[in-house]
Structure 1
């Protein structure tokens, strides 16, 4: 079970008991925000993309942010292509709605989007469609083994999304 691998991941910092499990689903940003009682932007959603080669990459972004294809291509040097649900499960070990950068099935590159920097704490999922944990940004960096902060999202800073670009 995926939530168990996430709890095992947090055990190394004695934080496995901080993983919250809910009676109601928290699989979408809106469901998670309502369940936890925070604004949707504070939900740290994990997006899965095809990286270079066969390996996937994860981007953790604020709940109100959308990937900007132009920024993504400029940052990584290739087009943003999301994984299928089956590929997400195969690469991460987590189902859609519970994807997080913790307790991963395979070692993947994790990037954190600047859209998260507005908050002292955020709420990423924990491997199931009804779980989350509250983390500071420093904890998110440490626990996810994030490679770096990136600026690949739009729509969160009050700017209107460019209608020419695909919004994920």
Structure 2
């Protein structure tokens, strides 16, 4: 059995530290879209919590959105300030992770986080676990507790 990727190990330790109760699953192929993740996990696409990092005047803002939604940037920017999709270097600098594997937490420094309340509709929510092929299960309430996220309608 190959060794666990260091980014997953780091995430696992932070999940434990925050009292997370979910399971980490490493899928055979990376799941760069909510649809691919949902297919691999056998769940609805809406139960996938996409971690989308944005640049707001050179400060990071993380949106945890349902895989069933597209972000209305104008609407969200009314609350967060101006948003520009972050490039790979910005993502790596602020999360320590790569695009496609950004977890809701386990970043080098706290990142202001907002969560799509639509995710509340699902008993189990799946989010990235620090690597493009790794996800973890949680509940909406547990995810909010672990991230300190503020609810924000994103559509």
With normalisation by structure 2, the TM-score equals 0.87
**1:48 to 2:62 alignment:** no
**1:79 to 2:85 alignment:** no
Q: Is the 8 A contact 1:8 1:16 kept in 2?
A: no
Counterpart in the other structure of 1:163: none
1:132 aligns with one of 124, 131, 135: 135
2:97 aligns with one of 94, 98, 104: 94
Instruction: Report Cα offsets for 1:34-62 as digits up to 9, x if no partner.
Output: 1111121111001101134x320101000
Q: 1:17 to 1:43 in 2, by over 3 A?
A: closer
SS of 1:133's partner is strand
With normalisation by structure 1, the TM-score equals 0.81
The 4+ residue runs of structure 1 with deviation greater than 6 A are none
Cα offset for 1:135?
Answer: 0.8
SS of 1:142's partner is helix
SS of 1:31's partner is helix
1:60-79 to structure 2, matched below 5 A, reads 60-76=64-80, 78-79=81-82
Which shows bigger deviation, 67-76 or 133-142? 67-76
Instruction: Report Cα offsets for 1:76-125 as digits up to 9, x if no partner.
Output: 2x332110012111110111111111211221111111222222221001
CA root-mean-square deviation:
1.8
Q: Is the 8 A contact 1:88 1:95 kept in 2?
A: yes
Which shows bigger deviation, 112-121 or 126-135? 112-121
SS of 2:85's partner is coil
Unaligned runs of 5+ in 2: 1-5
